[in-house]
Amino acid sequence: MHQPQGVVALHTPSLSLSLSKLRRTTSHSHSNSITMLHAPPTHPKWSLQGMTALVTGGTRGIGHAIVEELVGFGARVHTCARNEAELTKSLIQWNDSGFDVTGSVCDVSVPHQREKLMDSVCSQFQGKLNILINNVGTNIRKPMTELTTAEISRLMDTNLGSTFHICQLAYPLLKASGIASVVFVSSVSGFVSLKSMSVQGATKGAINQLTRNLACEWAKDNIRSNAVAPWYIKTSMVEKVLSNKEYVEEVYSRTPLGRLGDPAEVSSVVAFLCLPASSYITGQIICVDGGMTVNGFYPTHT
């Protein structure tokens, strides 16, 4: 099979085939004996069958969960990450499970690497992309006055500049697909103030507005644009801060649901925003936050 340059492709037709066989087995026999990520899609509005997707940053955390969620609904997925060994490991695991996932080593904060990534996606999916998930984002926790110019640029380039440019590069492919969805992984920091996150919050606030702008600008091309805004989700990005017990207790007390989120609780919302089931939703930012952003004042003493 022809592979575009720079694409790590470990899927084989036989493995993909075995998954579809599994799907057919479960749907026809209604057996519960095979554990699947999802029940087999039964209605076209709850299916991504035949659709193509790019998920940036798919080897860990929220991006990893999104890859698996989209594949579970029937999409073919391409992902990327900087660490080649981790990417290869993920691709092997996915392909061992029969998932149709390919990947590229790419640092999305570097313009020419983004261009190369989109060239690979274009070849991989014959010029048509139905789903673009802008998931990559980073954080540097510091008081505003202590951030260096280089750190500010790194945050702006990784979180906002790269996302903006990837949208520009993806536009012809999204348009060519005839029915497309862009989903941004924003943050509650784009809505409310969080300690030592002034630049990160500004980039996520900008992504929220970009979500609304693209919804209006690209509606004529049948491209929807939405975002999810998570609060604390258990991933490698927040491992260090969440290793502090007192800090976590404060997070719980600020969160009406009283717990952290799981990557799969974000990926399911992302998948919904890509499914035909959400076809009249565009320009929305959905907080996946256990109620954190609507929390008011509930004194415990009365």
80 binds ligand NAP (CB under 6 A): yes
219 DSSP 8-state letter? G
CB of 115 to ligand NAP, least distance (A): 14
CB of 86 to ligand NAP, least distance (A): 5
Of the candidates 62, 75, 214, 275, which one interacts with ligand NAP according to CB under 6 A?
A: 62
Options 28-36, 53-61, 124-132, 275-283: segment touching ligand NAP (CB under 6 A): 53-61
Give CA separation, 168 vs 34, 115, 256, in Å. Answer: 41, 10, 38
Residue 64 near residue 70, CB atoms below 8 Å: no
Q: Structure tokens of 1?
A: 């099979």
Options 22-30, 143-151, 230-238, 270-278: segment touching ligand NAP (CB under 6 A): 230-238
Q: Which residue has the tokens 């026999």?
A: 29
CB of 238 to ligand NAP, least distance (A): 4
What is the C-alpha to C-alpha distance for residues 182 and 208, in angstroms, rounded to an integer?
12
Residues binding ligand NAP: number (CB under 6 A):
31
107 binds ligand NAP (CB under 6 A): yes
136 binds ligand NAP (CB under 6 A): yes
103 binds ligand NAP (CB under 6 A): no
CB of 90 to ligand NAP, least distance (A): 8
188 DSSP 8-state letter? G
Residue 104 near residue 127, CB atoms below 8 Å: no
Q: How many CB atoms lie within 10 A of CB 178?
A: 11
